[in-house]
């Protein structure tokens, strides 16, 4: 059993999770979840996290998620990134299951926190660097008209995850009008 010292460690632990949408690599420093990545190789020097509690908890959460059992995320996360990236990722974490936001929505929220200027493109770059897929739901961010824009792991995975969460997607890979209107109206009221 790995003993967590609450600061994380230098050793990287890994676990693999076979999901319906592809193999996920889970990485931890022994205390915190640091990465959930699709279809990548185990980093050199990482060791099996067979008895690492945070990896076991993450695998259990993912199992429930893919079964459609939605529950809050109570897993300690520690993604590495700039302060700006972490601010954007915190906004992503607030997007609920079955909901979407646009890059512009995220930019306005971040701008409101910082008081400075913010572009949807800058937000898009930060979203694309999110190291904790699914749990920090970058797949829930769409283009300004509901279109499926870039996803680091491929648009087909993004579409699959959104459909799994009950979001209707048209053949042209856009959020269907009724679902899109509900999300927009809910956010604006």
User: In this predicted model, what pLDDT tens digit does every residue of 63-83 receive, in sequence order?
Assistant: 999 999 988 999 999 999 999
What's the pTM value of the predicted model, to 2 decimals?
A: 0.85
* Given the residues 24, 127, 138, 169, the one annotated as active site: 138
* Coil, helix or strand at residue 48: strand
Task: List the Cα angle 108/172/98 in 5-degree steps.
Answer: 50
Give the E-state strand segments of the chain in sequence order. 13-19, 22-28, 33-38, 47-48, 101-102, 141-142
CATH number of 83-188: 1.10.10.10
Q: pLDDT confidence of 182, banded at 50, 70, 90?
A: very low
Q: pLDDT confidence of 120, banded at 50, 70, 90?
A: confident
CA distances (Å), 144 to each of 21, 34, 36, 58, in order? 25, 30, 26, 32
Provide, rounded to the nearest whole percent, the portion of the chain with pLDDT above 70. 85
187 near 104, Cβ under 8 Å? no
Distance CA 136, CA 96 (A): 10
Looking at residue 7, what is its pLDDT?
59
Of 166, 148, 103, 156, nearest in space to 130 by CA: 103
Our answer to whether residue 138 is catalytic in this structure is yes
Distance CA 35, CA 42 (A): 11
CA dihedral 95, 101, 103, 104 (to 10 degrees): -120
Of 154, 151, 129, nearest in space to 141 by CA: 151
Parse the chain into domains and list their residue ranges. Answer: 13-67, 83-188
**Two tokens at 133?**
């897929």
| Backbone phi, psi, residue 63, to 5° | -55, -45
């Amino acid at each position: 059993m790995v003993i967590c010292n609450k600061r994380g460690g230098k050793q990287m632990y890994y676990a693999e999770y076979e999901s319906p949408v592809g193999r996920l690599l889970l990485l931890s420093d022994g205390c915190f979840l640091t990465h959930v990545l699709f279809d990548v190789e185990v980093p050199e020097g990482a060791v099996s996290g067979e008895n690492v509690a945070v990896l076991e908890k993450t695998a259990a959460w993912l199992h429930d998620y893919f079964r459609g059992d939605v529950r809050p995320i109570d897993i300690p996360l520690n993604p590495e990134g700039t302060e700006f990236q972490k601010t954007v990722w915190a906004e992503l974490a607030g997007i609920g299951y079955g909901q979407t936001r646009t890059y512009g929505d995220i930019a306005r929220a971040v701008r409101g926190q910082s008081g400075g200027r913010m572009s949807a493109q800058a937000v898009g770059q930060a979203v694309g660097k999110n190291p904790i897929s699914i749990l920090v739901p970058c797949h829930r961010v769409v283009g300004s008209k509901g279109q499926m824009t870039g996803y680091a792991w491929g648009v087909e995975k993004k579409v699959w995850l959104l459909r799994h969460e009950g979001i209707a997607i048209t053949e042209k890979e856009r959020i269907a009008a009724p679902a899109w209107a509900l999300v927009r109206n809910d956010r604006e009221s």
